[in-house]
Structure 1
Amino acid sequence: MPAVARFRSVVLDCPDPHALAAFYAKVGGGTPRAEDDDWVVLDIPDGPRLSFQRAPGYQPPQWPRADHDSQQFHIDFDAGSTWEEVDAAHEKVLALGARPLDLEDREKKDFLVYADPAGHPFCLCRIESE
């Protein structure tokens, strides 16, 4: 079946689109492109296009919650095939302003969960080499 439309972008609401785009550029690569004060686009190399829009009164998602205030989605990043690589990425995202949400049971889950500076959840994943 042919697609109805072509994927364009994942858009994150936030209080400061320039700051959040700069954070994700440091995590995933790319150069943020401001279209105006309220909208910034980031094309991550070999990844998705992320867009950031200013949302007055923005409230970050609560993680983990099962009710209507729970996260709407999260972003996964491949942080390497070893825990040493993931640990190095962990230190870097913390230095960039990420906040740990769930660092438990990493050997069982193969991922660590963080909040970006605006509160959106994202994961650093250990991806085994094929």
Structure 2
Amino acid sequence: MAPVARIRNVVLDCPDPVALARFYAAIAGGTPQEEDPEWVVLQVPSGPRLAFQPSPGYTPPEWPRADRNGQQFHLDFDAGSSWADVDAAQEKVLALGARPLDLDDQGGKKDFRVFADPAGHPFCLCMIPEG
């Protein structure tokens, strides 16, 4: 089936578009286009275009609650093929201002760790299985 359209942006509401765009640029690469602080675009190299816009009265999503505002959506990032790679990525995102939400791998049953960005959106650092 032919697509009707293609995705142009993944847009995140937040209190500070410039700051959040810079946070994700530090994780995924790219340079935020900051000419308009009301609409900041980040073209992730070899990835999607993320856009950030202010939202009056912004309330961050709650993870893992589904009964009030839920997580709404989340971003997954490939962080490497070993837990050592994920550990190193974890240190970096925490230094950038991320907050841990769920770091329990349940004895190796999960291949990801969950964090919140500075605006409260959940995102995951995922281990890419080798092979």
1:114 aligns with 2:115: yes
Higher relative strand content = 1
- What is the number of residues matched between the two proteins? 130
TM-score by length of 2: 0.95
5+ long unaligned stretches in structure 2? none
Query: What value does the CA root-mean-square deviation take over the aligned residues?
Result: 1.0
How do 1:1-80 and structure 2 match up within 5 A? 1-80=1-80
Distance in 1 (alpha carbons) for counterparts of 2:11 and 2:35? 14
Partner of 1:100, secondary structure, is strand
Determine what percentage of the aligned residue pairs are the same residue.
71
Which stretch has the larger CA shift, 101-110 or 10-19? 101-110
Asked if the contact 1:35/1:41 (under 8 Å) is kept, the reply is no
Asked if the contact 1:114/1:123 (under 8 Å) is kept, the reply is yes
TM-score by length of 1: 0.96
Partner deviation per Cα, 1:3-37 (whole Å, 9 max, x = no partner):
11111110000000000000000000000002412
Asked if the contact 1:81/1:129 (under 8 Å) is kept, the reply is yes
Counterpart for residue 130 of structure 2: 129
Distance in 2 (alpha carbons) for counterparts of 1:114 and 1:87? 13
What is the one-letter code of the residue matched to 2:125? L
Partner of 2:113, secondary structure, is strand
Runs of 4+ that moved beyond 3 A: none
5+ long unaligned stretches in structure 1? none
Asked if the contact 1:113/1:121 (under 8 Å) is kept, the reply is yes
Distance in 1 (alpha carbons) for counterparts of 2:126 and 2:64? 18
Partner of 1:12, secondary structure, is strand
Partner of 1:124, secondary structure, is strand
